[in-house]
Amino acid sequence: MAAALPRGPWRTAEDRLRDSTRHHHSGGDGLAHDHLTPVVIVVVLGAGLLHASWNAIVKYISDGLVAFALIGLAATVCGGAMLLVTGLPDGEAIPFAVASAAVHIAYEFALMNSYRIGAFNQTYPIARGTSPLVVAAGAYLFAHESLGSVPLAGVVVLGVGLMSLALSSGRLSKEDLPAVGAAVLTGLTIATYTVIDGLGVRHANDAYAYGGLLFLIQGPVFPVIAVVRRPLAGLVSPALAMRGLAAGCLSVLAYVGVLWAQTRAPLAEVAALRETSVIAAAVIGTLVLKERFGVRRTVAAVLVAAGILLISV
């Protein structure tokens, strides 16, 4: 793919001229299209499935800190390997990558706590559904962007779905409140890094270089914390290491797909389509993690996915 041209020092003047021409014809922001194409849809849906899968692995591992340490180790290695091939992204993108890495670390802390105190098929949809709801509300309140009738209906449907998940037992009990709060906080961090990365990857002019730098910056944090707070023996179980590293590789693959899609389609549409992973999470939580889902949570998850799609119309 043209977007995957190496950005290392060995690139020829012809390569750079071709990039410049493509950048000019795309309107100066690197976008090849102003709407979702079939290829982008497939990539983003696949990324959503991979995202739900690695989150399920994290929930399955009893020690969340060790799980995120192994994910961080995989991200560090993958990020370094990507940068060896691509070189660094354009200088304008580096501050975005640094800021995004900081938000991603906060996101992982919030996510870890969500899974520690709540059920996967409740906290995951709330976290992923909160993000597009916050973005839509923020666009209306602060950017003075008016919502059409269909996106407005999506906001209402998404809000009903999120409330249904929060009240999955019929009311918001004291037992549910910490998990719901952690999931909402996770959603706020998702909304933040989605906007940062959407801007950063376009300044980078290379999704893979930007992703590599992002992974290399954020990756080492949890491994260092785990080494300090956990005995080293807890990190060397072959089965545990395999699961955690697999989750890390899935995480990298999923997010690289999203970053690539953000250079090919509008950010809001990519973000909304990606969050349909809540359906995959519902299925995984029921079939793999053996969590009781029930009719209420099933309907709520479908409402969340439907609301997200309506917002992007």
Write the pLDDT tens digit of every residue in 129-159: 787 777 767 666 665 656 678 877 877 787 7
Q: What is the pLDDT confidence band of residue 228, given thresholds at 50, 70 and 90?
A: confident
Q: Give the per-residue pLDDT at 167.
A: 66
Please compute the mean of the pLDDT values over residues 215-237 and round it to a whole number.
82
Tokens 């690139």 correspond to what residue? 11
Write the pLDDT tens digit of every residue in 59-86: 888 888 989 999 999 999 999 999 999 9
Q: Can you list the alpha helix ranges (DSSP code H) found in 61-176? A: 64-86, 94-117, 120-141, 149-166
Please compute the mean of the pLDDT values over residues 89-97 and round it to a whole number.
93
How many angstroms separate the Cα of 271 from the Cα of each of 5, 244, 295?
25, 26, 27
Give yes or no for a contact between 20 and 98, defined as CB atoms under 8 angstroms apart. Answer: no
Q: What is the mean pLDDT of the chain?
A: 78
**pLDDT exceeds cutoff 70 at 25:** no
Q: Can you list the alpha helix ranges (DSSP code H) found in the chain? A: 13-25, 38-60, 64-86, 94-117, 120-141, 149-166, 177-204, 207-218, 221-229, 238-262, 267-274, 277-287, 294-311
Write the pLDDT tens digit of every residue in 101-129: 999 999 999 999 988 888 777 788 788 87
Please give the residue that has the higher pLDDT: either 141 or 193. Answer: 193
Q: What is the pLDDT confidence band of residue 29, given thresholds at 50, 70 and 90?
A: very low
Q: Give the per-residue pLDDT at 313.
A: 66
Please compute the mean of the pLDDT values over residues 199-215 and round it to a whole number.
91
Q: What is the pLDDT confidence band of residue 312, given thresholds at 50, 70 and 90?
A: low
Please compute the mean of the pLDDT values over residues 219-240 and round it to a whole number.
80
Please give the residue that has the higher pLDDT: either 252 or 289. Answer: 252
What pTM was estimated for this model as a whole?
0.76
Helix, strand, coil percent values for the chain (each to nearest 5): 80, 0, 20
- Please give the span between the terminal C-alpha atoms of the chain, in angstroms, as a whole number: 28
Please give the residue that has the higher pLDDT: either 182 or 13. Answer: 182
Please give the residue that has the higher pLDDT: either 295 or 91. Answer: 91
C-alpha span between 302 and 294 (Å, rounded): 13
Q: Give the per-residue pLDDT at 35.
A: 66
C-alpha span between 138 and 33 (Å, rounded): 25
Highest mean pLDDT among 165-169, 177-181, 186-190: 186-190
